[in-house]
Structure 1
Amino acid sequence: TTTPGYSNQYSAIAGGGAAGSGNYGVAYISSWAGDYAQLYFGINSGNYEQPVLGAYITNTTYAYLSMKNGDSFAKKFGGDDGTDPDWFKLTIYGLDSNYQRMNGNYVEFYLADYRFDDPSQDYIVDEWTWVDLSSLGEVSGLEFDLSSSDVGAYGMNTPAYFAMDNLATVPIPGALWLLGSGVSALIFVRRRSDDGGDAYEA
């Protein structure tokens, strides 16, 4: 959690999985592949549409240290005097049965927020934080978008990474399903979707 840079891109700033879990997922959202990533439900189980409850989210070490200290590509959040209104946001959309984004059906989570009038309230997320996704209802998957106040000529300068653990859904029919170790599919099971984004199967 102290090594900066791309070589440490798969480390969560929290130092391990949520609640001591042995595995967690790291997503990289490339501007060259549609600026989003998708996670599909039911590829193996057949339970495609499921109510999603939520997931634990945190920053990667790479993104966290880049925002905290700045680097050769991205600025230090807050600027030199700490007053720049910087932010880094994850937007999570529900996907319909055709794995298309359900516009208007999304949850926003700020991985960093420096927009407060009182700078002492500014923060960069450094621990696993539960993000309630129950408002998405029954979905066939999730789409993840990252955006930042730090944007240059070639797109977002902030490293486009986040970490996720213990994604909880309720299969229909069935009991609670915790996608804990399976979240590692965000890294390892990756293919290009029809419209150019990154798609991940669960």
Structure 2
Amino acid sequence: MNIQSICVYCGSSFGNQTVYAEAARSLAGALAARNIGLVYGGGNVGLMGVIANEMLRLGGEVTGVIPQALMDKEVGHKGLTHIHVVKDMHERKAMMAALSDGFIALPGGIGTLEELFEMLTWSQLDFHQKPIGVLNVEGFYAGLICFLQNLVDTGFVKAEQAALMMHEDNADALLQRLQTWVPQKSTKLRDALAAQALFP
């Protein structure tokens, strides 16, 4: 795929291990080396600030999208290439998705997971055809990967839908997978209708 910008979801905290910040810097370096721009939540705190500052240090393009309420709390980054201040979280997520050719989740909290799963949901419904991955830093996403397999095993998610969430523990390997990903036509709605006929 021709990827010019990647949306990165990540924590507004640093986590309790330095390896998370190191992974954010590593991803910034991999993006900058490929001349891929960063789209992110516009913050200057936690891993958000780490990846943005490293991208800027390397001369990369960084676009932030942040709600006015968070900008007012002075957590917005003032030195980005582009900054979009929007009215709420819904507009933020929609704009970040529109500006990006793919999505990566670094370690983060509930907000990071919510953003990741919204993009996975949109993908399985065929609302977008953009690659999605998680950087599995020190096994951070191992439990989530296992839970997705459980969803497959229990019949709530098809294997090809679970496979939409690519995962690697190395930034270069993950970007390589995103760049070579080939979208498949979603069968989610068709399968749901077929199941409805079997279980009215």
TM-score range, shorter chain: under 0.3
- TM-score (structure 1 length as normaliser): 0.27
Hey, which of these two has a bigger chunk of strand by percent? 1
Q: Which structure is richer in relative contact order (CA contacts within 8 A, separation 6 or more)?
A: 1
